[in-house]
Amino acid sequence: MIEPLRLWLPQAIEFGLGKTDTVWRHLGEYRRVFVLCDGSVLPFGQRLSQEAETRGLEARLSADVVPEPTFEALDDVLQQAQSFSPEAIIGIGGGSAMDLAKLIAVLLPGTQKATDLVGIDKVKGRAARLITMSTTAGTGSEVTPIAVLTDSEEKLKKGVVSRHLVPDAAIVDPQLTISLPPAVTAATGLDALTHCIEAYTNRFAHPLVDLWALEGVRLILANLETAVACGTRAEARVAMSMGSLCGGLCLGPVNTAAVHAMAYPLGGEYEISHGVANALLLPFVMQFNLPACTEKYARIATLAGIQEDSPPEIVARKGIMRIRELQERCGIPTNLRQLSIPQEAIHSMAESCLKVKRLMDNNPRPVTLDDAISIYRQAYEGTLEV
Amino acid sequence: MIEPLRLWLPQAIEFGLGKTDTVWRHLGEYRRVFVLCDGSVLPFGQRLSQEAETRGLEARLSADVVPEPTFEALDDVLQQAQSFSPEAIIGIGGGSAMDLAKLIAVLLPGTQKATDLVGIDKVKGRAARLITMSTTAGTGSEVTPIAVLTDSEEKLKKGVVSRHLVPDAAIVDPQLTISLPPAVTAATGLDALTHCIEAYTNRFAHPLVDLWALEGVRLILANLETAVACGTRAEARVAMSMGSLCGGLCLGPVNTAAVHAMAYPLGGEYEISHGVANALLLPFVMQFNLPACTEKYARIATLAGIQEDSPPEIVARKGIMRIRELQERCGIPTNLRQLSIPQEAIHSMAESCLKVKRLMDNNPRPVTLDDAISIYRQAYEGTLEV
């Protein structure tokens, strides 16, 4: 029996090369526009703001986006936005810029504080039109009801989940990803792959969401290496953007699991980028989850080009190794030692990741403290025994 | 290279048994509710209206929905709605009820006339919250930017396509389909199958939309016969509702093709229900389209359980025959003669269907007047020569 499902979706999704121009259509009648963009795409943000003014709109641009933003970083940029009183917010960038834009759009009126929003359905409403433009392939945040902030005191990432965070329009123009450096392409691409794998193998997986998850896995496995090695290949960039969009569409209804929960302390305590943390942990968590989702991992393996000529467990193991090889070929660190994480941190990280119950509860195999310690240890050494 | 795509989507899709109760959540703060329902689900519409009043809302119920509604029928129910000045419209039913609800929601302010809306992007805005609840599996109209009206003078169906017709929330509760009689289950189910097949084989097919199209084909082929023969089997009903939702999701971005265009005159001139008209014509148009989409029809055939042990053309032909058999087993008329369509009507119907350029342009094989005559003739005789 197909289980019930709730989808919160953007009213419009614009996908494809050249689609940034559709932003004007989606702004509609809104005249005062706050544009928040990653520093790495500042020239694009500037061009957009200038064009807004040419079109008779009032635009205010901010590029004050820091990676893995804290509550304090949000406050800074929120104040900039509040002093301008925009009717519309455009968030341009990777997850950090888009998440901040989403949070600003709901915090603008000043009736709620950011810390009040943490958790599920705590947001009371939204006062501004919200448009996201993704510049990585990637986060998928352009279509999700989720924004993540770093709690610098607790050294942990915290999620805000609300339908009010879903943008009115999500614009995914792969052209914006063409100039991404290989390391960013690799880390964000493997993050997107993780979204798809963790959605498909999720305890709350759903057949309608599986369609996106499997298509995302297929596209990313087939195109990531080319996008990393030869970033100007539009075809690979377009396919990666579609894979990332598919991953993003999975995040609202099903979301991620242990890889993301275990990546949070790496980001919160050691400022490892979200993409790298997920990319590094993915094969180790897959190894741990294998007994709980052998058939599904075997299906993923076939999408990685593994022949189905052996029992599912063997096929699944080959798939995990293929993902590990992809990770290596893309230049992602293969162990936590390389990231200068101290071995002594493992215990506290394991305690910390278990607090991310929202995601841990989704994992196909329950993760105990000992399990988490063991997975981090393997990741520390880089030993994959599949 | 993956082509650009624009999706207009409901902000919320609620799918699953028991989901009708979510309607209150999606009404939000709106207090005056106009409920438009099919006569066949009047008791449900009454319960919903009563519950609205128990909750302190003001509700007005109308069951004045006729099948294949004309512009005049729309005017009648629009006047009822305008006299009540609702803040929200709930459309409950098959395509006719939901399409009328969608049109009322945009026509409420009286600034546009229904005839002004025909075509693409002619609607200027929407003044009321709009919620759809589908009671067939089926039309898919609950999620589409499309509404269809019959022009009783020109004896042709006319489409209104606009993002403003996309509901705020679409509720797909298969429970509402449990009591559908077998003939309605069959006709609406084959209509949904047609949506999926015409989207997948569309000239403007897109890989993201193909995911829905193929899943819809798979679910409907596997469950329609059970749903027709034993309507209380919840599992089959749930699967059919999901298949229909998948078909609906295809209609906005890609839409249908020659089957639907050729069905329009049957509905407009001879009042054959939309479902029966599509169901009857489907295998004949597939036969005609075969040379233009052999591989895709072969893929559809494999979803119908045909082995891939022959060349694609043979597999594809077997698939068409399988769909024809399904149509027969579901009790759908297998030729136009059975529907009392006069043979002399073929020429004018052929001229008429070619006017539906919006859909004919989507067809994988161009349809000339002679082609249309020949397809109608085969459908008249019921001769399928695959």
A17: chain B residues, CB-CB within 8 Å: 4
Average pLDDT on A182-188 reads 96
Query: What is the rounded CA–CA span in Å between residue A331 and residue A186?
Result: 7
Which among A4, A11, A212 is the nearest to B9, CB-wise?
A11
* Chain B interface test: which of A3, A5, A175, A223 (most B C-beta within 10 Å): A5
Cβ(B105)–Cβ(B126) below 8 Å: yes
> What's the CA gap between B185 and A278, in Å, rounded?
47
**Token pair 């329902």: residue:** B37
- Nearest chain A residue to B13 by CA distance is A7
For residue A147, what are its two tokens? 């924004």
For residues A96 and A104, give the distance between their C-alpha atoms in angstroms, rounded to a whole number: 12
Looking at residue B32, its pLDDT comes to 98
Closest Cα of chain B to A177: distance in Å? 15
Contact present, B41 and B93 (Cβ < 8 Å): yes
Task: Give per-residue pLDDT as tens, B125-178.
Answer: 998 999 999 999 999 999 999 999 999 888 778 899 999 999 999 999 999 999
Q: How confident is the model at residue B111 (pLDDT cuts 50, 70, 90)?
A: very high
- Stretch B305-318: mean pLDDT: 95
> If DSSP codes are grouped into helix, strand and coil, which group holds residue B206?
coil
- Reported confidence tier of residue A270, pLDDT bands at 50, 70, 90: confident
pLDDT of residue A269: 81
Residues B265-288 have pLDDT tens digits of 998 788 898 899 999 999 999 999
- End-to-end Cα spacing for chain B: 33
Question: Chain B contact for A235, CB < 8 A?
Answer: yes
Mean pLDDT of B361-381: 97
> According to the model, what pLDDT value does residue A285 have?
98
Q: What is the pLDDT of residues B164-175, one digit of tens each?
A: 999 999 999 999
B8 touches chain A (CB under 8 A): yes
Q: Is A182 exposed, middle or buried (CB count within 10 Å of its CB: 0-12, 13-18, 19+)? A: middle
Above 90 in pLDDT, residue A184? yes
What local confidence, expressed as pLDDT, does residue A237 receive?
A: 98
Token reading at A361? 């509860």
| A11 in contact with chain B, both atoms CB, cutoff 8 A | yes
Q: A111: burial class by Cβ within 10 Å (0-12, 13-18, 19+)?
A: exposed
Report pLDDT for B156: 79
**Does the pTM of the predicted model rise above 0.90?**
yes
A174 and A240 in contact (C-beta within 8 Å)? yes
Q: In what order do the strands lie in the sheet with B119-120?
A: B119-120, B156-161, B146-151
Residue A289: its pLDDT value, please? 98
Residue A377 has which token pair? Answer: 């240890």
Q: Residue A8 is inside which H or E element, if any?
A: strand A5-8
What pLDDT shows up at residue A267? 84
Residue A121 has pLDDT above 90, yes or no: yes
As a whole number of angstroms, the distance between CA A47 and CA A29 comes to 20
Buried b (16+ CB within 10 A) or exposed e, B141-167: bbbbbbbbbbeeeebbbbbbbbbbbbb
Interface probe for B, chosen from A8, A9, A175, A219 (most Cβ of B below 10 Å), is: A9
Answer whether residue B386 shows pLDDT above 80.
Answer: no
- Residue in B13, B211, B239 closest to A2 by CB: B239
Nearest to B167 by CA among B118, B104, B233, B110: B104
Which of the residues A164, A166, A172, A208 would you substitute to probe the B interface, choosing the one with the greatest number of B C-beta atoms within 10 Å?
Answer: A208
pLDDT of A68 over the 80 cut:
yes
Structure tokens at B214: 């193929």
Q: How confident is the model at residue B353 (pLDDT cuts 50, 70, 90)?
A: very high
Q: What is the dihedral of CA B176, B182, B185, B191, to 10 degrees?
A: -160
Which residue of A lies nearest to B249 if distances are taken between CA atoms?
A: A208
Location of structure tokens 């594809």: B316
How many Å apart are CA B124 and CA B188, to the nearest integer? 31
The alpha-carbon gap from A239 to the nearest alpha carbon of chain B, in Å, equals: 7
**Which whole number is the average pLDDT over B259-265?**
95
Asked if A239 reaches chain B (Cβ–Cβ under 8 Å), the answer is yes
On whether any CB of chain A is under 8 Å from the CB of B235, the answer is yes
Rounded CA gap, A261 and A159, in Å?
Answer: 11
| pLDDT > 70 in chain A, percent | 100
pLDDT at B376: 98
How far are the Cα atoms of A345, A355, A363, A365, B146 from residue A351, in angstroms, in the given order? 10, 7, 16, 17, 52
Two tokens, residue B346: 């073929």
Cβ partners under 8 Å of residue A212, min gap 6: A196, A199, A246, A247, A249, A250, B211
Those residues whose C-beta lies under 8 Å from the C-beta of residue B2, and which sit 6 or more positions away, are A15, A16, A238, A239, A242, B206, B207, B208
- The confidence score (pLDDT) of residue B362 equals 97
Alpha carbon of residue B71 to chain centroid = 18
pLDDT of residue B134: 98
Give B238 to chain A, closest Cα distance, Å.
7
Q: Which residue of A has its CA nearest to B3?
A: A16
| Chain B residue with the nearest C-alpha to that of A223 | B1
B7 vs A3, A13, A215: nearest CB: A13
Complete domains list, chain B, with CATH: 12-177 (3.40.50.1970), 182-381 (1.20.1090.10)
Stretch A319-323: mean pLDDT = 96
pLDDT at A210: 98
- For residue A104, the model assigns a pLDDT of 98
What mean pLDDT value characterizes chain A?
96
Cα A81 to Cα A244: distance, rounded to the nearest angstrom: 29
Which residues, numbered 185 to 224 in chain A, qualify as contacts with chain B under a Cβ-Cβ cut-off of 8 Å? 207-208, 211-212, 215
User: Cβ distance B185 to B231 under 8 Å?
Assistant: yes
Q: Give pLDDT, residue B306.
A: 96
- Residue A268 pLDDT grade (very low, low, confident, very high; cuts 50, 70, 90): confident
Comparing CB atoms, the residue among A6, A19, A246 nearest residue B14 is: A6
pLDDT at A157: 83
The pLDDT value given to residue A56 = 96
Q: Given phi > 0 = left and psi -120 to 50 = alpha, else beta, which region is B305?
A: left
Predicted pLDDT of residue B268? 77
Residue range A115-144: mean pLDDT, rounded: 96
Environment class of B46 (CB within 10 Å of its CB; exposed 0-12, middle 13-18, buried 19+): middle
% of chain A at pLDDT higher than 90: 93
**Interface predicted TM-score (ipTM) of this complex, two decimals:** 0.96
Cβ atoms of residues B121 and B162 within 8 Å: yes
- Is the pLDDT at A128 greater than 90, yes or no? yes
The answer to whether B15 contacts chain A (CB < 8 Å) is yes
CB proximity under 8 Å: A 160-189 to B: 163, 166
Cβ separation of B16 and A2 shorter than 8 Å?
A: yes
Paired sense of beta strands B129-134 and B58-62, if any: unpaired
- Structure confidence by residue, pLDDT tens digits, B323-345: 999 999 999 999 999 999 999 99
Tokens of B132: 């759809």
Contact indicator for B100, B160 with CB cutoff of 8 Å: no
Which of B254, B237, B250 has its CA nearest to residue B172?
B237
Identity of the residue in A11, A17, A215 whose CB atom sits nearest the CB atom of B8:
A11
For chain B, say whether A305 makes contact (Cβ under 8 Å).
no
